[in-house]
Structure 1
Amino acid sequence: MSAFLEVEALAKNFGGVQAVKDVSFCVEKGSICSVIGPNGAGKTTVFNMISGLLRPNSGHVRLEGQALTGVPAHRMARMGLGRTFQNLAVFGHASVVDNILIGMHSKLRSGPFSAAIYWGRTRREEVAAREHVEKIIDFLEIQGVRDLPVGTLSYGVQKRVELARALASEPKLLLLDEMVSGMNQEETEDIARFILDIREELGTTVVMVEHDLGIVTDISDKLVVLDFGRKIADGQPHDVISDPTVIAAYMGAEQGAAA
């Protein structure tokens, strides 16, 4: 039986620099997998190849046996993939509700004629979309800011809105790129709780790129560790974080930062 997500021998070059070298790993359905490693290890590059923002020089990505490699990024949502980004990608002047509605674009099927007269199918889709948005707002506990411009909200709440928009397309696979970066302890704990709820209540498979070892070891079923573009470890959190190769990679990164 094949894995839910299969990443096979991915490689990516930028000019003369090989950023990712022969990276392979699998993710089981309904699990939380975290991709970790020092700065510059190739984590976001791997994410961008999975989500179609970058085309690998070699290798393959499959979701439920269906090839994702070479599929344009704009088609990924219809194939069941949603993601957030390391840097905020929200529309600051739009309301929370409108930001989340944008995430539902891939689910809408009405043609331009029916949309122009706002009747029949278009009207039913609009009603259903707004009902779905309200469920997401309740799920992520942002009812109190639903009508406010996102740009007026705190950084932590803006990240929660970005997560809500990613959930709007009802993804089977959710990619979270450094979701808790820049958050305080309380905000980090809230996001950790929501990620667990996304897996348990929505049945969504989650893959995270993350620097915070506390959150990844607490909530992940599996860790994949990259260093200098290569996979150096892959397994359950308590086994991976005690792996001498992983410890050496992180200690080396810390020593380099201190130098």
Structure 2
Amino acid sequence: MSLLKLENVTKKFGGLTAVSDIGLTVEQGQIYSLIGPNGAGKTTLFNLVSSIFPVTSGRIFFDEKDITEVPTHALASLGIARTFQNLAVFKHETVVNNILVGLHSHLKADPFSAAVFWGRARNEEIRARERAEEIIEFLEIEELRDLPVGTLSYGQQKRVELGRALAVRPKLLLLDEMVSGMNQEEREEIGRFVLDLKEELGMTVFMVEHDMGIVMDISDHVCVMNHGAKIAEGTPDEVSNNSDVIDAYLGSRRKSA
């Protein structure tokens, strides 16, 4: 069953076509990776799915609903969460408070009960904090829960950002260069967490990634972009042996190695 479907999606900035006629389908429960060289249009495509940019033409469907024109702030309530290539955490707040921010879309109490912290508001707060603790335990950052995020290492901050996205309880998790800037041990840990999200929670993950080791190890399906267009897709093995991919992406990495 498809969870995310793009039909002939194109994005133009003036005379520049950044994304050209892209069609792809992310199935429920998949880890789907989007790869390609710098400037291929990967992050622009992610920004279209996230409604950060409007599409020039084409349609985007999520859970069989047309979300092409749904505003960014409404995506969380539909079940879509995203991390960003550049950290977007609240560095002066604690780990637990950063994760609680992600639960905001699930709070439904009226202003009065929220003001007096009674009834529904109190129950929602209790459940939110329980959920935050579950995420902290899942990500194995219990000892960091009360520390300001700005005092943590880069890899730990990325883990907190992932936790905040998980707080949305997403059906679809968008990961933009999740392991960028991490050391080998941190990359392997994130790869393990992403696999656990799929295998333990049944979550669907759509990720843009440059780390080919992570992509080939954990992906179910891979789509390759170059110059804004899709040039190949398939299993990791199929993609890694595709001559167009080798020329456009993998080959350039081998030559520079």
TM bracket, shorter-chain basis: over 0.9
- Counterpart position of 2:159: 160
TM-superposed deviation, 1:202: 1.3
Between the aligned partners of 2:177 and 2:215, the Cα distance in structure 1 is 11
Task: Check if 1:94 corresponds to 2:85.
Answer: no
Amino acid across the alignment from 1:103: G
Change (3 A) 1:219 1:133: same
- Counterpart position of 1:36: 35
Change (3 A) 1:170 1:72: same
Report the TM-score, using the length of structure 2 for normalisation. Answer: 0.97
TM-superposed deviation, 1:254: 5.1
Hey, which bits of structure 1, 4+ residues long, moved more than 2 A? Answer: 251-258
- Counterpart position of 2:121: 122
Between the aligned partners of 1:251 and 1:176, the Cα distance in structure 2 is 21
Change (3 A) 1:39 1:253: farther
Change (3 A) 1:158 1:20: same
- Counterpart position of 2:244: 245
TM-superposed deviation, 1:255: 9.4
Q: Map 1:1-259 to 2 at 5 A.
A: 3-250=2-249, 253=252
- Structure 2's unaligned 5+ residue stretches are none
Amino acid across the alignment from 2:224: V
Amino acid across the alignment from 1:109: K
TM-superposed deviation, 1:51: 1.2
Between the aligned partners of 1:75 and 1:92, the Cα distance in structure 2 is 25
- Structure 1's unaligned 5+ residue stretches are none
Between the aligned partners of 1:251 and 1:72, the Cα distance in structure 2 is 36
TM-superposed deviation, 1:54: 1.1
TM-superposed deviation, 1:194: 0.1
Between the aligned partners of 1:13 and 1:92, the Cα distance in structure 2 is 35
Between the aligned partners of 1:177 and 1:257, the Cα distance in structure 2 is 24
SS at match of 2:54: coil
Report the TM-score, using the length of structure 1 for normalisation. Answer: 0.96
Q: Deviations over 1:112-158 (max 9, x none)?
A: 11111110000000000000000000000000000000000000000
Higher mean Cα deviation, 59-68 or 174-183? Answer: 59-68
SS at match of 1:76: helix
SS at match of 2:230: strand
Give the paired residue count.
Answer: 257
Between the aligned partners of 1:250 and 1:123, the Cα distance in structure 2 is 52
TM-superposed deviation, 1:64: 1.4
SS at match of 1:4: strand
Between the aligned partners of 2:251 and 2:17, the Cα distance in structure 1 is 20
Amino acid across the alignment from 1:117: V
SS at match of 2:195: helix
- Superposed CA RMSD in Å reads 1.5
SS at match of 2:198: helix
Instruction: Work out whether residues 246 and 252 of structure 2, in 8 Å CA contact, stay in contact via their aligned partners in 1.
Output: no
Q: Deviations over 1:24-69 (max 9, x none)?
A: 1101100100000000000001001111111100011111111111
